[in-house]
Chains A and B, each alone.
Chain A
Amino acid sequence: MRAVFATGSLRARLVVQLLVVAAVLAVLLYFTVRSTADRAAEATQDAILGAATVSIAEQLRGGDGGVEVDLAYATFSMLGAVGQDRLFYRIDIGGETVTGYDDLPVPDVRPASLAAVFYTTPYLDTRVRIAAVARSIIVDKGPVPVLVLVGQTRQGQAAIADQLANRAGLIGLGFFLLAVPLSLLSAGSVFNPINRLAEAVGRRGPRDLRPVRHPAPSELAPLIGALNGFVARLRGTLSQTETFIAEAAHHIRTPLSTVRSEAEIALRQSTDERTRVRLRSMIRGVEASSRSASQLLDHAMVLYRSDQLEGVAVDLCQITRSLARAFGPTAELREVTLLVEGDAAPLCVLGDALLIESALRNMVDNAIKYSAVETEVRIVLATDAGMVRVEVCDQGRGLSGAGLTELSGRFTRGGNVGDVVGSGLGLTIVTEVAAALGGRFELVERDTGGTCASLFLPQL
């Protein structure tokens, strides 16, 4: 049960509880009306019975010849009118029953006056309600006590109570049936603010870490407070991470470049061939470390930005061309021709400029890095079935049979690249960027030698 309450629908719980309350109220209504109607009917019938009894007692007349009893036909007729109840009476004069049913039970407490005493008692094969009154009359010049009892069955009263109770029962049932849609409505209105709050929070962009200020009922204030506290902690953690990445970049790259320049100075000043060999090897190592650090930071940056992705229109054409310009000197140094093909018109995709640039830089860098001297690296921009394709083809050493799956693993490098500095993170970054932006990355070995790397991104 607890488990059901913990996981079940709050709305269903609320509706069930409201319906249970309605059902309990309906049942209570039935029994309340029943007992009230019974009491009211009894009071009414008692009043009639009492009046009839008093009227019979008042019609008793004393005299010298005994007592005159004059039962009124209409009185008896009327007493039987409600529910056609059975009627019994008894008139005692001076302690002796002079007429009526002489075994009709007398009350425990004898009435002292014409104020009727009422009691219910079994009689014959049924239960009767009896009114008893007393008075005294003068017979033969002396007062004689008179006791008058009139009893009736109460089928009429029971019928009235039943009828009213049944009507109340029907009304209760009606209320219950009415309670079904009403409690559904009410449960809906109770949960509307929660749904609206959830929608408002869900609509927020990935970088929106402002506190929630949505108007909400006071009962939701603790939840909103807790949510805002959580958002604040998250924002703090994220800004720490950003700071950490920036600081890590600074703290690793700066000393490494110092070591590198110091080593280069030492190389120039040194004449000892063995020292120079060691220094060159050292410089290569530092270069590799620096590259690795920068790739690691790139990779971390890609992961971070992928998580916080907020799509903006990015002109792929412009990024590619500026990248090509930036790589111009490197390519020249290695005597590689860098060509960009395709229109200069903007080719926009939805994404993050830094991510895309990082991916493209890795692709171009790889192509130049693994190209032989005096070869071409061709960058092609095209649209292809709703996607923008950036293809970077080289005439280098190819992949020697390795596929993208192996090469895109972290710190994985091809088997034929031992002589080239690399971190094994480049293709990982490209693959992750493609996935984060809803595109894909392909790497194929060309039949004519060399490799073609293609990044597909959805066109805006």
Chain B
Amino acid sequence: MRQFILATAVSLFATMAGAFEVEDERVFGNGPGPEIAVLSTTDTAFFAPLIEAFLVGRPNLRLRYVVASSQEVYRAIHDEGAAFDLVISSAMDLQMKLANDGFAASYASDAVARLPGWARWRDRLFGFALEPVVLLASRRAMVGLEMPRTRRDLIDLLRAHPARFNGRIGTYDPHVSGAGYLFATQDARQTDAFWRLAEVMGRLNARLYCCSGEMINDLVAGDITLAYNVVGSYALSRVKDAPDIVVIEPEDFTVALLRTGFVPVGAGQGALGGALLDFMLSPRGRGLMDTAAGLPPLDQSLLQPYLRPIRLDPGLLVYLDRIKRENFLAEWDAAMTQP
């Protein structure tokens, strides 16, 4: 097996012996027919309604839904050659790398052919949900202040009220979180204001989180006032029972993340894996994804002009480069750690 010098947290796990780490596993349906194996980063609870609807018309199928972190998903496919029929992940960069390195099989259908160019890469990798990466704010803690609409507003706000925001800003730790690293690098690509923002956040002793769940928990609990770069679907699912939280899509630009899926090379039931993908892209699948799973379906007509979907292209490979990553994280640390 060739060695690719990877710079992601994959390396942290590379030393671990044995198979990739499974977070959850559940089998849907009890048909006698073939079993579709799906490897995903999305929690089972989010996906269950979709799978159940998919299986309604296919009573003889079974579907094994395995949840793992994005790095584990990458490791399972890239290093272990685990047998799955559909691989779903929110880590676009890792998915792109898997497809680029030849782990994705060709899959063609009307549904995937209708996807816009930026939401698919060749006939290998396909986006099915588009999630804005948003800023969350607590109404209570923001009393008397105007909600920021852009990053510039945010920087001005933080600079104007350092005492009020000191230690009360949360964001991902890009060292630990693959998603946080992807969002930070995409922000840095889009604007130099990102580095100013990082410096301001560093000066205000921003809290760094591994995962969006904890960040939102702290926000709901009132421990922090602002949460920067949170995946929209998580945020929206929490906003329902926490009216205090405001979801802000920065109007200068809002990075949008694609959840992507591909049929791996050598999939035993590749056609059925593709059929599930087609179902997710069908009008019914989109509807279920929106209402039941809480994942915003990929619908171009709803795109806000400030939304910047991350394109599926080899540019994503750049920040996976070890040296590039080291350089970026060094810059980040320099910005966060004020003398």
Give the interface of A toward B (CB within 8 A): 67-74, 76-77, 79-81, 84, 86-88, 97-103, 124-126, 155
Contact = CB atoms under 8 A, between A and B. Distances in A.
Contacts of B318: 71-73, 76
A99 B315 contact: no
B5 A69 contact: no
Given A70-B324, A77-B311, 16 more contacts: A68-B323, A68-B327, A76-B315, A76-B318, A80-B121, A80-B313, A84-B313, A86-B100, A99-B322, A99-B323, A100-B5, A100-B321, A102-B3, A102-B5, A124-B102, A125-B102
7 tightest CB-CB pairs across the interface, nearest first? A77-B315, A80-B314, A87-B314, A69-B323, A84-B122, A73-B315, A103-B2
B189 A73 contact: yes
Interface residues of B, number: 24
B101 interface: yes
A137 B145 CA distance: 53
A179 B319 CA distance: 58
Contact of B327 (A70, A77, A80, A124): A70
Contacts of A155: 122
B283 to A, nearest CB: 27
A74 B315 contact: yes
Contacts of B319: 73
Contact of A101 (B2, B121, B122, B189): B2
A124 B122 CA distance: 18
A103 B2 CA distance: 7
A72 B327 CA distance: 13
B317 interface: yes
Interface string B78-112: 00000000000000000000011110000000000
A99 B323 CA distance: 7
A81 B313 contact: yes
Contacts of A73: 189, 315, 318-319
Interface string B1-37: 0111100000000000000000000000000000000
Nearest to A97: B5
Nearest to B2: A103
23 contacts: A68-B327, A69-B323, A71-B321, A74-B315, A76-B315, A79-B314, A80-B313, A81-B313, A84-B313, A86-B102, A87-B100, A87-B314, A87-B317, A88-B100, A98-B5, A99-B321, A99-B324, A100-B4, A100-B5, A100-B321, A101-B4, A125-B102, A125-B265
A99 B4 CA distance: 8
A71 B322 CA distance: 11
Contacts of B327: 68-70
Given A69-B323, A155-B122, A76 B102 contact: no
Interface of B: 2-5, 99-102, 121-122, 189, 265, 311, 313-315, 317-319, 321-324, 327
A81 B318 CA distance: 15
Tell me which of B4, B99, B314 has the highest count of chain A C-beta atoms within 10 A of its own C-beta: B314
A459 B327 CA distance: 120
Given A68-B327, A69-B324, A80-B313, A126 B3 contact: no
A72 to B, nearest CB: 7
Given A101-B2, A126-B102, A80 B315 contact: yes
Contacts of A80: 121, 313-315
A136 B315 CA distance: 26
A125 B124 CA distance: 14
Contacts of B311: 77
A71 to B, nearest CB: 5
Contacts of B99: 86
A77 B311 CA distance: 9
A74 B315 CA distance: 6
A103 B3 CA distance: 8
A71 B2 contact: no
A100 B321 CA distance: 7
A368 B323 CA distance: 139
Contacts of A98: 5, 322-323
Contacts of B5: 97-100, 102
A144 to B, nearest CB: 15
Most buried by B among A68, A76, A103: A76
Contacts of A87: 100, 314, 317
B331 to A, nearest CB: 11
Contact of A69 (B101, B122, B315, B321): B321
Contacts of A88: 100
A97 B3 CA distance: 11
B324 A76 contact: no
Contacts of A71: 318, 321, 324
Contacts of A86: 99-102, 314
Contact of B317 (A67, A76, A124): A76
Contacts of A67: 323
Contacts of A79: 314
A94 to B, nearest CB: 14
Contacts of B313: 76-77, 80-81, 84
Contacts of B315: 73-74, 76-77, 80
A75 to B, nearest CB: 8
A188 to B, nearest CB: 50
A100 B97 CA distance: 12
Contacts of A125: 102, 265
Contacts of B322: 98-99
B258 to A, nearest CB: 15
A80 B319 CA distance: 15
Contacts of B4: 100-102
Contacts of A100: 4-5, 321
Contacts of B3: 102-103
A77 B321 contact: no
A97 B5 CA distance: 9
Contacts of B121: 80, 84
B336 to A, nearest CB: 21
Nearest to A98: B323
B212 to A, nearest CB: 24
Name, among A67, A84, A100, A125, the residue most crowded by chain B CB atoms within 10 Å (CB to CB).
Answer: A84
B184 to A, nearest CB: 13
Contacts of A74: 315
A86 B106 CA distance: 13
Nearest to B186: A73
A74 B327 CA distance: 17
B314 A77 contact: yes
Contacts of B102: 86, 124-126
A68 B2 CA distance: 24
- Central interface residue in A70, A72, A74, by most chain B CB within 10 Å: A70
B121 to A, nearest CB: 6
B93 to A, nearest CB: 11
Nearest to B120: A84
B243 to A, nearest CB: 39
Contacts of A102: 2-5
A81 B311 CA distance: 11
A70 B122 CA distance: 27
Contacts of B2: 101-103, 124
Contacts of A126: 102
A61 to B, nearest CB: 11
A70 B265 CA distance: 32
